[in-house]
């Protein structure tokens, strides 16, 4: 099952065992279930991967159960963070459970990193648009050549 499909289906709070709302937040405890891909848009480049590497080495079994695969999540006190910032990871489903206000305590991308990401997105979009335009030009050139051949045949008759 793809990550987005996992997030679309109804799941229960790993802490309270009540259904999460559509924003993947628990209305009872205020915790949030977040996909790793979303964190990559917020945290500094490489930060999430460093956390995952530490989770694999130093993570401890959590009392929280992943709501998608129903395996125990892995708890980690985030190195270099505010004291007591403990997050629960499901490496299998690539999901993170955070209690209220914990996500806001994670480091955020700097303005420079945000600009770099936006520049990369714009460059990729431009490359995609260029490839699409080149394909259209090629098709038009082929059509023009065929039209020229048809006109040539008509003139011969």
Task: Please tell me the pTM assigned to this model.
Answer: 0.61
Same domain? For 28 and 41 the reply is yes
Same domain? For 99 and 123 the reply is no
What distance in Å separates the CA atoms of residue 99 and residue 32, rounded to the nearest whole number? 6
Angle at CA of residue 96, ends 95 and 100, nearest 5°: 145
Same domain? For 96 and 153 the reply is no
Return the closest-CA partner of residue 65 out of 74, 53, 76, 52.
Answer: 74
Domain count for the chain, please give it: 2
Same domain? For 93 and 127 the reply is no
Task: Supply the DSSP symbol for 3.
Answer: H
- pLDDT, tens digit (0-9, with 9 covering 90-100), for 130-139: 989 999 999 8
Same domain? For 17 and 80 the reply is yes
Boundary of a domain, candidates 105, 125, 145? 105
> What range defines the domain where residue 85 resides?
3-105
pLDDT band at 147 (very low <50, low <70, confident <90, very high): confident
What distance in Å separates the CA atoms of residue 74 and residue 96, rounded to the nearest whole number? 9
Same domain? For 100 and 61 the reply is yes
- What tokens were used for 130? 């260029």
- What tokens were used for 41? 């848009």
Same domain? For 15 and 78 the reply is yes
- pLDDT, tens digit (0-9, with 9 covering 90-100), for 44-102: 888 888 889 999 999 999 999 998 899 999 999 887 666 778 899 999 999 999 999 88
CB-based burial, 63-88: b 16+ in 10 Å, e otherwise: ebbbbbeeeebbbbebeeeeeebebb
Same domain? For 99 and 35 the reply is yes
Same domain? For 7 and 37 the reply is yes
pLDDT at position 5 is: 56
């Amino acid at each position: 099952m793809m990550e987005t499909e996992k997030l679309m289906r109804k799941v229960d709070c790993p802490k309270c065992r009540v259904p999460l709302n559509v924003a993947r937040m628990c209305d009872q405890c205020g915790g949030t279930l977040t996909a790793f891909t979303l964190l990559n848009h917020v945290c500094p480049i490489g930060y999430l991967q460093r956390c995952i590497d530490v989770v694999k080495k130093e993570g401890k079994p959590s009392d929280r159960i992943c709501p998608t695969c129903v395996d125990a999540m892995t708890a980690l006190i985030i190195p270099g963070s505010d004291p007591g910032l403990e997050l629960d990871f499901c490496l299998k489903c690539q999901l993170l459970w955070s209690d209220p206000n914990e996500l806001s305590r994670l480091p955020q991308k700097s303005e420079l990193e945000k600009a770099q990401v936006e520049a990369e997105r714009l460059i990729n979009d431009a490359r995609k648009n260029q490839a699409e335009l080149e394909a259209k030009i090629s098709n038009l050139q082929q059509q023009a050549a065929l039209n020229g051949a048809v006109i040539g045949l008509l003139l011969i008759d």
